[in-house]
Amino acid sequence: MCSFDCGLCVGPSDIRNCHHLVQTFDDGPTANTPQLLDQLKKGGQMVSFFVLGIQVVTFPEIFRRSHKEGHFLASHTYGHKHLPSLSNNDIVAQLQWSIWAMNATAGVIPQFFRPPFGGLDNRVRAIAHRLNLSAIVWDLDTNDWQLNDHSRTGEEIYDQIRLWQNSRINGIMLEHDSTENTVMAGIEISKIIGNSAITAANCNDPLAEWYSEDTILPYNVSRSSFRIPLPQKQQLNNKIVTNSYDAATDHHHHHDHNT
């Protein structure tokens, strides 16, 4: 079993390394994301956003702005679930609902996803591939989420980034646009590393397409008109209506890699 979260095993289609320092942000869009977009626009920088479907439908204008300003957008599932813990049908639902949210909001169909907590094994890969999704993980963790509980300072993070930069250590950096703390860190990191002019999708293949050209749903389709042919569809729909993802309280973004 090739599991990323329980052994750092990377499959042949997974993207983990890069020849530049690349910023990638999980768990948005949020009310804090525009601050980051403002700075990136000022610096002429492109980054990668792994978005949650629940956040896309909550902040559609911010998602559309990210797309309009040329950033790479990929799925982070609909509701931030640990995919290996779910049934096949629920994995499909998490991925399909996120695809629906991205397509209905900005007319894009992602070809890449990042599993929450790095929860990626052969079963998840096989299901994702059926949905034309390849995984992008990371090899440099900023641990920016520790800013939220004050177990790490901004300066400690920035010193780590400078060390990577000075040591010519390149790779895909894991960050979050979920809270004001992590967004401010992302802004500072963008100033430190400058513009690499590459996204995570193009680390292995400079010509890789970000999105599918197929249109599986009409633009701006209403939520009520979308149907997933799954027994869990109604249950998932209820969760969408009643639950919202609170990124600020998610202190467990990563599983212990030794488990």
Residues marked as catalytic: 26, 176
Two structure tokens written together for 87: 């049934």
CA distance 64 to 61: 5
CA distance 150 to 157: 12
Burial class (CB in 10 A: 0-12, 13-18, 19+), 200: buried
Q: Where are the alpha helices (DSSP H) in 3-87?
A: 33-43, 53-58, 60-68
Q: Which residues contact 204 (CB under 8 A, 6 or more apart)?
A: 15
Q: What are phi and psi of 176, to 5 degrees?
A: -140, 140
* Torsional sign, CA 133, 139, 142, 144: positive
CA distance 234 to 231: 7
Taking the CA of residue 231 as centre, how many other CA atoms within 13 Å lie in the half-sphere pointing to its CB?
3
